[in-house]
Amino acid sequence: MSYRIPMGPYHPALEEPYKLELVCDGETVQDAKLNIGFNFRGIEQLAETRNFIQIVALMERVCGICSNTHTLSICQAVEQIAEITPPPRALYIRVIMAELERLHSHVLWAGVAGKLIGFKTMFMTCFAVREQIMNVLQTISGNRVNYAMNRVGGVNRDIDDPAMILAMIGELEKDMVKTVIPVFTTSHSALSRCTGVGVLSEEKARSLGVVGPTARASGLPQDLRRAAPYAAYEEMDFNVPVEHSGDVKARLVVRALEILESCSILRQALSKLPAGEIFTGDESEMEIPEGRGFSRVEAPRGEVIYSVTWGEDTDTPSRVHVRTPTYINMPAVRWMVRGARLADTPLIQASIDPCYSCTDR
């Protein structure tokens, strides 16, 4: 006998309000329906009432975890319209901030995964590591969440102490290699909850168009930093971790390996950080002409797309459209939970690292 059970919109395993309606046969999930829109904020419409300075601050509030990604995306789109090229040092600083944010996001997710598995010791370990990253971000920007680093034409703040960041990277790599990765890949507790759970095949991942670590865990080697480089990524040497099992374990391992690649990118960017200015032009004298800009950035969760249209003789955009990675990844949850145990659904839905704050922008 089948029955329906709601998961959400408020549930201990959900960081933000959304709802999974699970159709179950006993303890086995047969199908699921996803409902979103519980936290709609109308940010795109608000953006159409802001000038090019105000809009950066607004888009930073789309997501707390990926705030730097959204300001980078909007700045790149506006710079394309205005034909502005930031100086080389600013592009390197953008890479540094983007990778620090990726570290923060992936380590945070690893901690949440540990908690959902019931591995609370790992949860505390990951959050202690995350605190090191937060301290570095606060030292650079003055804030732990919204960093206000990006501006049209460059960045607002310089990096004065690369040695401090390098020291953090060394400690982070030590913790990841000696503790976090071995525990998640060898612990019976972790493996029994993750291996073969929530499988998304390569064929289904391709047909659904999933992005980011969710795609790479299903065998799709796609990463905008490699495929369509922006900022200074073209000058960085790094690998794109790919797994092929498509289960929760694969999504966990991909993120763990990406943490090590981010550390490598940070070392390169800090060692090659060019001298010079950190922004181009004077904001008070800038004018954005009529046109359309398109920006793609590899956020921690996957591809973020910004499309910005600027009208003639106006200081505000006529249209701002944002497509976030969770929006494109979330339909995959339906296929991941099919055939899974009801008790595994909180962990499965969390394995795409969903951000419904972004999706309900």
- For helices 162-175 and 120-141, give the axis angle rounded to 10 degrees: 170
Q: In the chain, at which residue ranges do the beta strands (DSSP E only) sit?
A: 2-7, 19-25, 28-35, 150-151, 154-155, 291-299, 302-310, 317-323
The arithmetic mean of pLDDT across residues 265-282, rounded, is: 90
Report the pLDDT value the prediction gives residue 151, as an integer from 0 to 100. 94
Domain residue ranges in the chain: 39-325
pLDDT at 12 (0 to 100): 61
pLDDT reading at 186 higher than 90: no
CB-CB contact of 133 with 103 (8 Å): yes
pLDDT band at 1 (very low <50, low <70, confident <90, very high): low
Separation of alpha carbons 89 and 162, rounded Å: 13
pLDDT of residue 38: 74
- pLDDT of residue 356 exceeding 80, the answer is no
Q: How far apart, in Å, are the Cα atoms of 325 and each of 150, 236, 355? A: 21, 23, 9
Question: Which segments within 102-254 are labelled E, that is strand?
Answer: 150-151, 154-155
Number of H helices, E strands in the chain: 16, 8
Helix, strand or coil for residue 102?
helix
d(CA 163, CA 100): 15
| CATH pick for 39-325 out of 3.40.50.300, 1.10.645.10, 2.170.190.11, 3.30.360.10 | 1.10.645.10
Q: What pLDDT score does 40 carry?
A: 78
The pTM assigned to this predicted structure is 0.92
Region 336-349: what's the mean pLDDT?
Answer: 87
Instruction: Give dist(CA 90, CA 195) in Å, integer.
Output: 42
DSSP 308: E
pLDDT at 18: 74
Q: What is the pLDDT of residues 289-300, one digit of tens each?
A: 999 999 999 999
Per-residue model confidence as pLDDT tens digits over 217-234: 999 999 999 999 999 999
**pLDDT at res. 15:** 65
Query: Residue 317 pLDDT > 80, yes or no?
Result: yes
